[in-house]
Structure 1
């Protein structure tokens, strides 16, 4: 890792025991990591900054998902698509004549990103609607030539990002263009009625516009291509070559297609549950729509933002979180408020987020998650133990010391070992409102047994994707709640009479545990749960079409140690029965 540190910090970081005496402001202040665009190497802000702002803003923002008095529910940037409002290209283009975003404030947006703890911004230079949100010479359908505002917001944002030390990058829809003849899913004839091919679109618009966005705005961090569809590899290669020529330090998103991107981009709104190898990002949004939708007030809370951010970092990736400004250019205040509040926490604990490695447990823990920096573990505790004991399973490396952090203060806490578990004695009240942090200094690099530990105090949920499956199928199912609002689950389904999903667990405290299953299906189902070689329980519950948690019963672990727990679908429609997870909750 390439870590930029002030000299005084290097000294302070070695004094783990007397950190308070050395001045905690030096140890955990904003200067902990210097990740600024002007001193970043290629991909550094992506790989080590771990957090970015996405912005979806365009003509569609002016509609806000309402057309001719009717509200369309779903992602706003697709409003003209036939699966939404189905606006003909000629009618859609007329929107430019009234697009006048007087409330757009590039400096305020850059400051919001900085306050949120983000390290760069990616903004839509052209989405699928074909409208260029910058001064394009390649096509007149752009913000400077067809709107009364007639400004280039990308220049303003580039200047604002440089002033804040942030990186800037551009989203560009390279395959789809719904308004230019020959563009993907666009008109098949030109304005004169002549047939138009994809090559016409690529040569006349796509390639020259990528040349523009990589040439006219100074150094940029990333070009975020999207939805390559069936775009031939030769076209994608030309675009990547342009980026390499004009911006040798910029990354290319994995959605360029044909394996020509620099990193993997996961599915929309997907936060993985297990570690993902290689360089990757998750893209998410502050509510349910990417672009502004007038009705969508389902904002992520500061805690939810931090949960998803830390989950991505702990799984080894980068998190890019979207805002959708209104048509007038203003940012919804509730989204901004959540970003600022979660950002305040990040500025208090930058060492948890920046320049960190994935959790060696490779999955979340019942109380939160873990990030790693050298020989230090950072335990991000979302669900604080009321008993005053926090349980960490499977850590093999010896602990030198542990500290409960509280902004610029730290409290040494006692650490014990019990049956292979590490137990921390902590106050009964969490020091932080959002996420409390324990810093664990190890004797060496962390070595871990990643077996799921059954917490002796709080419920432990284990997702079905971590099970060993026989006589059934384990696949990922994706669906849309509203148009473009993706949900996903890796589930076990298509059960045969001998089908099993087997979970390996590590039990610290023997006794009875209440077992629940989260599943969906048809009609009444009978599920069985077995401790392999031990107790069997089963129960019948009515299923739901959506995933719901159902109680099964109590099961006993007679002594501490490792067990295998098998789940079976005993009666009912095994084909549609879909298991999402199993839960273990101590009874006493």
Structure 2
């Protein structure tokens, strides 16, 4: 893998620590808590390069292009870019309208990223968009006004620790223009603190200040910044990446959508392709269905989803990104009750066909994989159902349902009523009471991730890595297997019979895996491994009767010390 960074090193950079956003007249945190969906924007000098410098393309996140780990552009050369930055196609009203049409409730944009260039009119440092570019406008005023006109919240991203161009800034020059040694205090007092004062006083009410990468920044500095936000914007939230447990909520790792419910107030930050800032080559856009899958997964796990766009250097938004946002937004307008003001799924994880969100005594089943048999299986629901409807826009058609072995079975048409995601509204007699055990769907493949296993004589941990610079991947995996090591999964079976078992894993060379049904069959098989978590078949197992079973996975032979188990999958043999 290229650019592997240890989990500990990444955590030190992001500095996660903590304690949801609101429209202008709402209480503090309400829009974050109820809106659940926001737009992130990464836009700056780096955007006009688009990851190409002197004819060479650099693959990775564009906002780091000047850093030595990317193109390594010297500070004087990088600052010259301001002389050609002229974003004539920037349209604040169109961007705010795009966010509104996407179903997003607020926008957070980069006021200053690690490169130190302020994208607003700053008096604290001349390296800013109004003083050093031929455009000489403040786009933040335009965007703040456009957001308010659309009824959206507005907030700023601010890199408070890293500043690569100001003397004394984190990872920046250590001497000033006169050759005198510069300290972090010089940067903080002369630039950072005054700029946070500016962004919290010059743009009207804001919803959020999104600090980033505190690293080893001392607590006294972070506290001063938080105090400024509290004084000037008492209704604004502060991101967990401020550091030192001074933020209001937790931000998960970049591009990370959790698989199990997360307690407390949190957000996932993601991007519409692989880069945060614009990269000319990056056309790997998330489809409307994938955006909805990740959004509903975040809401279903109890959090908020902030999805990034990266405008080009001329200020325009790539149309393919905008199209995906608009199409997914059209779906949200038809089914707002699925996304806004909802609670986490009582199953605490996704289901084979989709996901669940909750509003009071109503369940909303978002069906991504439509069952062509006309039967949808819901395991573990204990609360009585009073009615169920298949929604079509604002209308609902009653559907029949039955119970069997602790499962609910809904009778559906064989053709999905929606192109992207169909929705079933389930009314309950009371608050949902659920057994969150994984049910093996009798028609659709069921994947159970390793993080849901009980692990003995091996290790279960979370690791992250970068496949391109800044493109984060992550996995919870079982590794460091001993001869007695096993990962045990509990499953609930509604239909007895044979199921094909596959494992998703990585490792080196030859590996022999065993799968054991407690009180039943044992199977094992040898397969080669891969570095990127491919799915390998192991064999069939039989569940003789409906009910609950425990399934143990073991690494029996081969390079077991390198083996890394990500998931087990069950497909009914039909």
- Tell me the TM-score normalized by structure 2: 0.96
Which residue in 2 is equivalent to 1:334?
Answer: 320
Question: Contact 2:103 / 2:333 at 8 angstroms: preserved in 1?
Answer: yes
Question: Contact 2:22 / 2:30 at 8 angstroms: preserved in 1?
Answer: no
CA RMSD, 1 decimal:
0.7
2:401 aligns with one of 390, 394, 415: 415
| 1:410 counterpart SS class | strand
Paired with 2:484 and 2:87, the residues of 1 have a C-alpha distance of 62
Question: Contact 2:272 / 2:307 at 8 angstroms: preserved in 1?
Answer: yes
Post-superposition offset of 1:36: 6.8
Paired with 2:562 and 2:30, the residues of 1 have a C-alpha distance of 45
Which residue in 2 is equivalent to 1:376?
Answer: 362
Paired with 2:421 and 2:410, the residues of 1 have a C-alpha distance of 16
1:504 aligns with one of 483, 486, 490: 490
Question: Contact 1:467 / 1:503 at 8 angstroms: preserved in 2?
Answer: yes
Deviations 1:262-281 (A, max 9, x none): 00000000000000000000
Q: How many residues align?
A: 554
Paired with 1:149 and 1:582, the residues of 2 have a C-alpha distance of 55
Does structure 1 residue 352 correspond to structure 2 residue 341?
no
Does structure 1 residue 555 correspond to structure 2 residue 537?
no
1:542 aligns with one of 528, 549, 556: 528
Question: Contact 2:111 / 2:120 at 8 angstroms: preserved in 1?
Answer: yes
Paired with 1:156 and 1:308, the residues of 2 have a C-alpha distance of 30
2:168 aligns with one of 165, 179, 182: 182
Question: Contact 1:36 / 1:165 at 8 angstroms: preserved in 2?
Answer: no
Post-superposition offset of 1:433: 0.4
| 2:330 counterpart SS class | helix
Paired with 2:395 and 2:231, the residues of 1 have a C-alpha distance of 48
Post-superposition offset of 1:37: 1.7
| 1:37 counterpart SS class | coil
Which residue in 2 is equivalent to 1:263?
Answer: 249
Which residue in 2 is equivalent to 1:571?
Answer: 557
2:269 aligns with one of 255, 258, 283: 283
Paired with 1:386 and 1:436, the residues of 2 have a C-alpha distance of 13
| 1:90 counterpart SS class | helix
1:432 aligns with one of 389, 409, 418: 418
Which residue in 1 is equivalent to 2:13?
Answer: none
Deviations 1:347-376 (A, max 9, x none): 000000000000000000000000000000
Question: Contact 2:47 / 2:313 at 8 angstroms: preserved in 1?
Answer: yes
| 2:560 counterpart SS class | coil
Paired with 1:225 and 1:153, the residues of 2 have a C-alpha distance of 20
Post-superposition offset of 1:573: 1.0
What are the within-5 Å matches in structure 2 for residues 386-425 of structure 1? 386-425=372-411
Does structure 1 residue 44 correspond to structure 2 residue 10?
no
Question: Contact 2:335 / 2:394 at 8 angstroms: preserved in 1?
Answer: no
What are the within-5 Å matches in structure 2 for residues 27-426 of structure 1? 37-426=23-412
Question: Contact 1:454 / 1:460 at 8 angstroms: preserved in 2?
Answer: yes
Paired with 2:573 and 2:318, the residues of 1 have a C-alpha distance of 44
| 1:539 counterpart SS class | strand
Post-superposition offset of 1:38: 2.5
| 1:122 counterpart SS class | strand
Which residue in 2 is equivalent to 1:14?
Answer: none
Which residue in 2 is equivalent to 1:16?
Answer: none
Question: Contact 2:22 / 2:207 at 8 angstroms: preserved in 1?
Answer: no
Post-superposition offset of 1:204: 0.2
Unaligned runs of 5+ in 1: 1-34
Structure 1 residue runs of 4 or more that deviate by more than 2 Å after TM superposition: none
Deviations 1:464-506 (A, max 9, x none): 0100000111011111010000000000011100100000000
Deviations 1:160-206 (A, max 9, x none): 00000000000000000000000000000000000000000000000
Paired with 1:519 and 1:40, the residues of 2 have a C-alpha distance of 47
Question: Contact 2:22 / 2:29 at 8 angstroms: preserved in 1?
Answer: no
Paired with 1:568 and 1:538, the residues of 2 have a C-alpha distance of 9
Question: Contact 1:404 / 1:437 at 8 angstroms: preserved in 2?
Answer: yes
Which residue in 2 is equivalent to 1:531?
Answer: 517
Unaligned runs of 5+ in 2: 1-20
Which piece of structure 1 moves more, 197-206 or 569-578?
Answer: 569-578
Question: Contact 1:472 / 1:500 at 8 angstroms: preserved in 2?
Answer: yes
| 1:39 counterpart SS class | coil
Does structure 1 residue 443 correspond to structure 2 residue 432?
no
Question: Contact 2:35 / 2:340 at 8 angstroms: preserved in 1?
Answer: yes
Does structure 1 residue 490 correspond to structure 2 residue 467?
no
Post-superposition offset of 1:39: 2.5
- Tell me the TM-score normalized by structure 1: 0.94
Post-superposition offset of 1:401: 0.1
Which residue in 2 is equivalent to 1:6?
Answer: none
Paired with 1:208 and 1:313, the residues of 2 have a C-alpha distance of 36
Paired with 2:219 and 2:518, the residues of 1 have a C-alpha distance of 51
Paired with 1:371 and 1:292, the residues of 2 have a C-alpha distance of 33
| 1:165 counterpart SS class | coil
Question: Contact 1:37 / 1:45 at 8 angstroms: preserved in 2?
Answer: yes
Paired with 2:508 and 2:351, the residues of 1 have a C-alpha distance of 31
Paired with 1:208 and 1:250, the residues of 2 have a C-alpha distance of 18
Deviations 1:489-546 (A, max 9, x none): 0000111001000000000010000000000111111100010111000011111111
Paired with 1:454 and 1:401, the residues of 2 have a C-alpha distance of 25
Paired with 1:530 and 1:58, the residues of 2 have a C-alpha distance of 55
Deviations 1:531-564 (A, max 9, x none): 0111000011111111100000000001000000
